[in-house]
Chains A and B, each alone.
Chain A
Amino acid sequence: MTKKKLKIEGMHCSSCAMSIDFDLEDLEGVKSSKTSFVKQETEVEFDEKLIDLPKILEQIKTTGYSAE
């Protein structure tokens, strides 16, 4: 399991944070995702054997935000 902190841009309210968590946790291999609106960051825990970081970043982009 790997834990990563990602900086998110483009969130304007806590609903956005929820959307990101919901979408990430739907991905296979992502164990948990905790997005903080106040800190503008996501803490994501995932299994590197099943999913890699670029895919996670891609999903955040699809949800509508930019991350790095």
Chain B
Amino acid sequence: MAELPRYRPLGVTIQPLPGVDFAAAGRARAAAFNEIARGLDMMSKYAYEKQQYQAAAEGQRYGAEKAPTQEQLEEAKKEGADIAEMLPGDDYTVFGRAARKTALDIIIDQSEMEARKSLTALRLEADQTDMPATELSAKINGLISGYSSNLYKLNPAAGSKFQAAMSTVGNTALLSHSQSLAKKAEKRQEVVALASMDSIINEGVAETIKAGTTFNQDTAEVVTINERLGFLREKIATEGYYVGDKALVKQGLAAFDKKVVQVKTGAVADFVLEDPIKNTDDLLQGKQLSNPHIQDILNNMNDEERREAVKLSIDLADKQRSRDAQIETANRRKRVDAVDDLLPEIADAKIRGATDRLYGLLGRLRELDGAKYESIASAIHTEGGIDDAEVVAGLNRLALNDQLSFEDINTAAKNRQISSSTHLRLLNDLDGQRNEDFKFAVDYAKDALGYPITNKLNFTPEEDIAAQTVAKLRNELRLAKRRNPELDSTEFMIKRVKEIQAEKTYTTEQISQAGVAVKGLAIKLKKLGYSVDRESDWQDIQSALTQAVSDQKFDPKEADGLKKSFTILGSQ
């Protein structure tokens, strides 16, 4: 049998679906969105941080503006209000926290400032009133508590912190005050000790030595000066050691010892000066002194003190003698000065014929200098003699040279070498010599008329003429002054000199020679550094010449030789 066809399957089969991860794709997309969201979050975070800073800054401003003052806090406290509510801001927001913190900081700062100010004032008051440390401590604590209690109500932590900080300041102030009190007490002790030492040294020593050796009323024992001084010395040491200053003790003891020596030797020296010769002898020879108290002091002196006392006594005696001699010299000098002052007055009285005044002055002269009185009275009472030409010329020359003296005139008068009229004239000259205005006028005449500035024994004929003219003008001036005491001497003299010069006539040649000489002089003076030249006026050249002679740059004799040239030019 033939085999029947049979269905053969094609092998069609269902294939497994490939795995597709849609979730991963979704996650990837979500990650992208998340990434964007994260970026945006960062932006938001940045913006938020900025907002936080802004809020904090605004909060700080707000807190600073709204912070209550100490007065407001005190007022609220008095009214029983809760001062914590006065703090601006809150504890939950950035703005609030910043505002509250700032306000609190300001209150703390203000409180600290106020507290410090109050502490300083308290410290000053304590210092000025020497307030006891315990009282100051109580006041400081009260002050700090007052301020910190306010702060504690506002913020307990800030209150505690403030109290701790201010307590340190308060303790420092208290410590400083305590130290100051201790120093003051120390100083007071030192002052008391110093005063006591000073009293012992400056009073106790002298009193003890002055009291001398005494008896103890209780024991009837003799207490010598040195024993009592020893007691005082110990007291100085005690005072010094009480202060605790070794240097002070050393210094006090040294001053004490010095004072003891000084008082002892001083007492002995005073005694010696009562009778220097006898007492010095007694002291040097070790004899019993006439004063028992001084002898007592001497008995209480050691060898060194005795030597010092003897030395001081001798020195003082020497000094006293020297001082006496100095006083005598001074008195003598005073007498001489008084006589010198009296002589012009005597001359004046003589000139004016004031007899009563003259005798009064002579009486005073006799008291001051008997010898001088004899000489002058003799000269005044001697009748006038006959003018001795040579003597009168010599006296005239002295008068012209401002060298005339009272003695010169007296000698000539006593020797009757001058007449009464010459005597009076010379006294007038002497008076004029003392008168500055008169002297200046005469000097002008001398200069203008060619009177030599150097002392010469022999004058040239021209100089003789000049001397005579000057003498003549002097007499004229003196007479004019007698007529009119208010007369201007210099003006008078200038006028008279010009008149005299005008009377003189010089030849053209003399004038020309004088001009050449003066111009030559100008060149010389210019070389010496004076500001004149050939073109300068003769008056300027004359002034420069006077200056050069004064400066010792120009020979005075040569200057005298040129005077005539100036006289000639001055007459033109």
Partners in one complex: no
B residues with CB within 8 A of A:
none
